[in-house]
């Protein structure tokens, strides 16, 4: 945990849940786990405020609780990674929109907004945001919700159960071992219709709550990164080949394993022939596999069955992380600095005099850039002393430069958290300063839409639009452009954080 991550979590929570919840999150972030009484004492909030804040955070799976060692009370801990994932919610919705359509995206958006909720509530609530309002729409939403569960994008929330406390009292714990966490309960359309119309009805699934299964989304994001990397490095056919390899890997291996179980070339060919119409990829499948093997994306396991290969996910993300680091160096310090960094990475340990020769950079530039990279923690230095004997004088020291990838990744994560915090802060500032102008523009747009529906003349509509003066239009255009740029920056930074975090996970 870091200062920058703490500031980012604080800003995100304040933006989405308010000042009181932010105070509780700040207090939990500063400790590993705390009891309710400790939180009340350290935050200065009332018991009611702390309990409500914890209830909200538990509902959105950002805080967990467990019995203390004496089993007499509960301790609460913050899941700070889940707090940062709030920024990823639009990507989750976009993925569902792309794969399953608009209705599924509406269901996912409502579940993300609710945190933990029953299927019947989500379906009825989603009826407000879809086109149709009849029984067929309810049936469609029910089927779409079932499909999301079958595809593992949503999962049953842990169920509370009674357990024995330390002083003989009964305590409550969450049971995570649900036999079939993706099993959908039976939902009667008549009951759903009654709920939609506001009639009293007994909800059949009131004890079955659902949450978004972020792990499945992250598997999809990870696979997309690998497929895109192959497409850029080789071509689209190789990317398609990698997609089918990852499908076979998912069927045979734990999805988060660093190296997959062996996959026979014969099985891959059969999968490609069954699923793909790409004749060129099928014709040159062996060559594509060979090229991926030469780049260490695949490793040959055995020669039987036409050859068996394993997907080396850990190695892939090591290479992608190196590429990310080098791109950052190129952007910040130029191509010469990237060349120096690459030389030191390949040689492992290099003296200052050898850097300029190997990188073919003038001595003055090589020294300047090397020490600049050292200052910014992209390089590390190791000192070796050669012992002197007798009157030989002072012992001679050798200074060798080297690269520590894990340390660079940690530093870049810190910078990414700081950049995200600055981006959100700037976005909030721009919206606050120009709040009156933005609201005026939104009111005008609403009025114009209503006028168009009524069939008003263009001259009258233009007259209404002219109430926004040219200077105001110019300011509004600048604000919209800046907001759009900051949103794009947030998405790009989050993608970098996701990849760097994956690298760290695979190094454990």
Task: Please state the φ and ψ torsions of residue 35, each to the nearest 5 degrees.
Answer: -85, 170
Asked if 5 and 26 touch (Cβ cutoff 8 Å), the reply is no
- Looking at 334-404, list the stretches that DSSP marks H as alpha helix, in order from N- to C-terminal side: 335-347, 352-359, 363-375
> Looking at per-residue confidence, does 197 or 387 come out higher?
197
Q: What confidence tens digit (pLDDT) does each residue in 447-505 have? A: 888 887 877 777 877 777 777 788 888 888 888 899 899 999 999 999 999 999 999 99
Per-residue pLDDT at 417 exceeds 80: yes
Query: Greater confidence, 224 or 449?
Result: 224
| Cα Rg of the chain, angstroms | 29
Q: Which of 348, 374, 403 is the last residue of a domain?
A: 403
- The answer to whether residues 143 and 230 belong to one domain is no
Domain co-membership, 126 together with 105 = yes
- Which range is least confidently modeled, 73-77, 203-207, 251-255, 473-477? 203-207
pLDDT digits (tens, 9 = 90+) for 90-137: 999 999 999 999 899 999 999 999 999 999 889 888 888 887 777 788
**Spatial CB neighbours of 208, under 8 Å, sequence gap ≥ 6:** 118, 119, 156, 185
Q: Under a CB-based contact definition with an 8 Å cutoff, are residues 336 and 359 in contact?
A: yes
Give yes or no: residues 92 and 207 share one domain: yes
Same structural domain, 377 and 413: no
Higher pLDDT, 360 or 171: 360
Instruction: Give the number of other Cβ atoms within 10 Å of residue 445's Cβ.
Output: 11
Task: Return the number of other C-beta atoms located less than 10 Å from residue 366's C-beta.
Answer: 24
Nearest one of 404, 214, 191, 405 to 319, comparing CA atoms: 405
Containing domain of residue 418, as a range? 408-507
> Residue 81, SS3?
helix
Q: What end-to-end distance do the CA atoms of the chain give, in Å? A: 17
From 334, 506, 324, 297, select the one nearest 408 (Cα to Cα): 324
The neighbouring-strand residues paired with 380 are 402
Q: Which of 457, 94, 502 is nearest to 318 (CA)?
A: 502
- Which of 305-309, 444-448, 491-495 is predicted most confidently? 491-495
Look-up of token digits 């760290």: 504
Same domain for 248 and 190: no
Q: In this structure, are 347 and 428 located in the same domain?
A: no
What pLDDT shows up at residue 165? Answer: 60
pLDDT at position 395 is 62
Residue 309 exposed, middle or buried by CB count within 10 Å (0-12, 13-18, 19+): buried
Decide if 316 contacts 226 (C-beta within 8 A): yes
How far is residue 102's CA from residue 108's CA, in Å, rounded to a whole number? 10
Q: State CA 404 to chain mean position distance.
A: 25
Compute the residue count for the chain: 508
Distance CA 399, CA 286 (A): 47
pLDDT of the residue at 458: 78
How much is the average pLDDT of 361-365?
Answer: 86
DSSP β-bridge partners for residue 173 = 161
Same domain flag for 51 and 138? no
The pLDDT of 340-347, averaged and rounded, is: 91
Check residue 11 and give its pLDDT.
93
- In CATH, what number is assigned to the domain containing residue 76? 1.10.10.10
Last residue of a domain, one of 49, 80, 111: 80
CA distances from 16 to 445, 448, 463 (A): 26, 31, 38
| 161 neighbors 175 (Cβ within 8 angstroms) | yes
State the Cα–Cα distance between residues 326 and 346, nearest whole angstrom: 13
More confident call, 101 vs 175: 101
pLDDT at residue 302 is higher than 90: no
Q: Give residue 434's pLDDT.
A: 86
Q: What percent of the chain has pLDDT over 90?
A: 44
Residues 307 and 345 in one domain: no
Question: Quick check: 147 pLDDT over 70?
Answer: yes
The set of residues, in sequence order, having a beta carbon less than 8 Å from that of 382 and lying 6+ positions away, is 349, 399, 400, 401, 402
202 and 95 within one domain: yes
Q: pLDDT tier at 73 (50, 70, 90 boundaries)? A: confident
* Tokens 């933005």, residue located: 438
Domain count, the chain: 5
Whether 224 and 299 share a structural domain? yes
Does residue 252 sit in the same domain as residue 338? no
124 shares its domain with 238:
no
pLDDT at 394: 56
Is a pLDDT exceeding 60 seen at residue 393? no
pLDDT confidence tier of residue 150, bands split at 50, 70 and 90: very high
Share of the chain above pLDDT 70, in %: 96
Distances in Å between the alpha carbon of 423 and those of 86, 400, 419, 492, 507?
15, 38, 6, 12, 29
Strand partners, 383: 399
Which residues are CB-contacts of 481 (< 8 A; sequence separation ≥ 6)? none
């Amino acid at each position: 945990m870091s200062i920058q991550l703490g500031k980012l979590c604080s800003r995100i929570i304040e933006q989405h849940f308010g000042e009181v919840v932010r105070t509780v999150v700040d207090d939990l972030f500063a400790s590993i786990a705390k009891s309710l009484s400790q939180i009340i004492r350290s935050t200065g909030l009332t018991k009611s405020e702390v309990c409500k804040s914890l209830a909200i955070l538990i509902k959105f799976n950002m805080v967990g609780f467990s019995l203390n060692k004496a089993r007499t009370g509960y301790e609460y801990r913050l899941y700070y990674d889940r707090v940062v994932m709030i920024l990823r919610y639009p990507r989750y919705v976009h993925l569902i929109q792309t794969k399953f359509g608009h209705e599924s995206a509406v269901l996912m958006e409502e579940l993300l907004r609710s945190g933990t909720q029953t299927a019947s509530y989500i379906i009825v609530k989603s009826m407000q945001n879809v086109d149709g309002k009849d029984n067929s729409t309810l049936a469609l939403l029910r089927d779409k919700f079932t499909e999301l569960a079958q595809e593992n994008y949503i999962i049953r929330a842990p169920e509370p159960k009674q357990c024995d406390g330390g002083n003989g009292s009964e305590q409550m714990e969450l049971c995570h071992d649900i036999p079939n966490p993706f099993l959908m309960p039976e939902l009667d359309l008549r009951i759903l219709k009654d709920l939609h119309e506001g009639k009293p009805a007994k909800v059949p699934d009131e004890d079955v709550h659902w949450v978004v299964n972020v792990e499945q989304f992250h598997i999809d994001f990870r696979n997309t990164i690998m497929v895109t990397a192959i497409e850029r490095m080789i071509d689209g056919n190789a990317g398609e080949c990698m997609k089918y390899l990852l499908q076979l890997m998912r069927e045979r291996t734990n999805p988060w394993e660093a190296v997959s179980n062996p996959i026979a070339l014969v099985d891959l060919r059969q999968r490609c022939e069954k699923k793909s119409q790409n004749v060129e990829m099928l014709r040159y499948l062996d060559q594509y596999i060979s090229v991926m093997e030469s780049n260490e994306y695949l490793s040959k396991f055995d020669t039987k069955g036409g050859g068996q290969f394993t997907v080396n996910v850990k190695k892939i993300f090591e290479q992608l992380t190196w590429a990310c680091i080098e791109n950052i160096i190129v952007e910040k310090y130029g191509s010469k600095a990237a060349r120096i960094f690459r030389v030191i990475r390949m040689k492992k340990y290099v003296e200052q005099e050898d850097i300029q020769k190997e990188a073919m950079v003038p001595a003055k530039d090589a020294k300047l850039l090397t020490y600049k990279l050292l200052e910014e923690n992209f390089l590390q230095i190791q000192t070796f002393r050669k012992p002197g004997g007798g009157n030989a004088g002072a012992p001679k020291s050798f200074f060798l430069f080297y690269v520590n990838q894990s340390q660079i990744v940690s530093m870049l994560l810190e910078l990414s958290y700081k950049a995200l915090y600055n981006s959100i802060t700037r976005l909030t500032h721009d919206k606050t300063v120009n709040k009156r102008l933005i609201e005026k523009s939104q009111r005008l747009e609403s009025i114009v839409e209503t006028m168009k529906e009524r069939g008003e003349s263009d001259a009258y509509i233009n007259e209404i639009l002219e109430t926004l003066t040219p200077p105001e239009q110019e300011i509004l255009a600048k604000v919209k452009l800046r907001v759009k740029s900051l949103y794009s920056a947030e998405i790009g930074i989050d993608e970098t954080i996701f990849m760097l975090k994956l690298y760290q996970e695979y190094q454990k």
